[in-house]
Structure 1
């Protein structure tokens, strides 16, 4: 049975940290808005506005807000895992923790991929995938899934990292941050090949570790964290080999995002410090019933909206072409004049897609269980899920019939194989529960 946002808001316990829910929605909403603004679509294909107008790359210091989402994830994972442990009477809870986390995340994600895979096959069978727009759309539509793959890795590693946090506190974060700095030294100063890929784990897990610290109330000087992070990021970009943009740019030799760099970690530190400074005034605002109902409703569909927002944007451009309307050259006055209209139309189409697919994001009744299960099976399952999702983000959905592949952890992978891995991994996680749950 579906519970209304009004009922959920009314039932919110006084102890709930409402600000975390706001940060989750705001971070995903900022990413959506950034993608809509950065997409530079013309008759020649889909480009990046920030690459066409390099001075605008400074905007990524505000729009690149995924560190906040991972920070909030660390906070939520700490509370969720500890709650399961308290109710488990000494039984292992790893499998139950993974099931609860994956159900809300993978349900809408796999539906999105399956729908788009079916559409991509139809487009390719019809021979309509050789146009600049269609081909680019099939390549890019799964790219935002990278963050879901990273998030799944964070979920999988929460128990050992939470134990490390309980023993070492800030030193656990310092170890991860120091490892990220060492990787950049080995990469840029010593030219060690492939070492940079370690920062996919070290940088993002360091940000995730900050969420553990917040859960224990140990971020007591957010202004110092924000100032130190911002100063570090500015200095690294000014005198180091790091680019200005905090998102990847086409053709750049060094990206702060893929793989992540120490500059991106410093960027994450200043963002975390900044949002912590706003926690108290935001708390008073969130106490208003109407505001809180809005946040609750948005949280219930945030992942679905994120997954389908690029589809909506592409739909707006496709409609413009179908109506015979010219696409102005990106970054021209005519292009900027259309931006508000395109964003409003994309938002409306996203809302329509959310109405169609929101039921796949609804939590199941099994989410609250604290039953034990087969931890090794669940671990194998979540590993397959994260590799499958990361594989899909890299391969895209173009060239399905030609066996197009990408390299994932030194091995070639195709989109169909990645999808099977994700589906199989989810099945293993679900089957890891005790017999009574099946």
Structure 2
């Protein structure tokens, strides 16, 4: 990838007739495209691209991070989700961060949740894909082992966070090779990551005589029960973390239906409130009362209306979204026309909320806000990337690792 500035990336476009893929880095898109060309479906290609992003954008995405997944199954005309977000360790007291850290999560291993991405990718392959883990992970393994040219966007990110990486020898060994921040154009290698992916592939191959699913299970177990799990747990104990062998071994990504809402002539689907996906549905509900076309696309009034609707939806996200295993989210109310009509009253056509507005009272179905004060925006660090794949059979696979 080339870039004219640290914040502008130019990705080469490839025109095709049977399938399409887009990703946060062209090498990840190429990995998925090669899988499509080899006969794989959208799931196979999306998993290949998603794992590759964990290599070529490892400053934003982690192979052992998260992977919320939406899948459209063309033959069933059905949209399903895979909740690739891990829970907190069982040993964590829910009040710990409030009691010990004033409600903030400190830098370091105490931020660690169960790594969900490997299980989510393999679950997608097992249920809806056609290829092996070894096949789809091969591009990522090669990119990690042999390296890829460092590019300006990642080089700038590593430079910005160099002091933080230097706090942990294991991070410094990867992101500060030889004690220096890699420069754009340097070949950047992550050999231990490549070895971990290869170990998972080798375990799959050893079990493949029992069938494709047994092989995929073996690749998963290599991470969650095998040598990788043992190294994770040992590191956690050494650093004062709470993640245990039991946390890893017992984790499985839930699979279920998508959330859905009509907007104009479209049916819009998102993952559940275990992530921030339904913010889109609530934003669309808030915009139903606005003639966006009359405002003119990207006009000042158009951008204002859209931005303020997003602020209101994100405020409710902060107030109500949670892990469904530990709490209920009033999502039917949050995306309902009635609640949106009340909530929309907080949008002033002549004035913007300078910070996050107060949430509505979803319990009472009242959207005009609560007595809670507006929350300041801490300007969080950028993270996350994206993949979107469409195959020749009409399947769609858009994960957000």
Q: Same fold (TM over 0.5)?
A: no
Q: Which has the higher helix share?
A: 1
Q: Which one scores higher on RCO, CA 8 angstroms, separation ≥ 6?
A: 1
TM-score of the superposed pair, with normalisation by structure 2: 0.28
TM-score of the superposed pair, with normalisation by structure 1: 0.26
Q: Which has the higher strand share?
A: 2
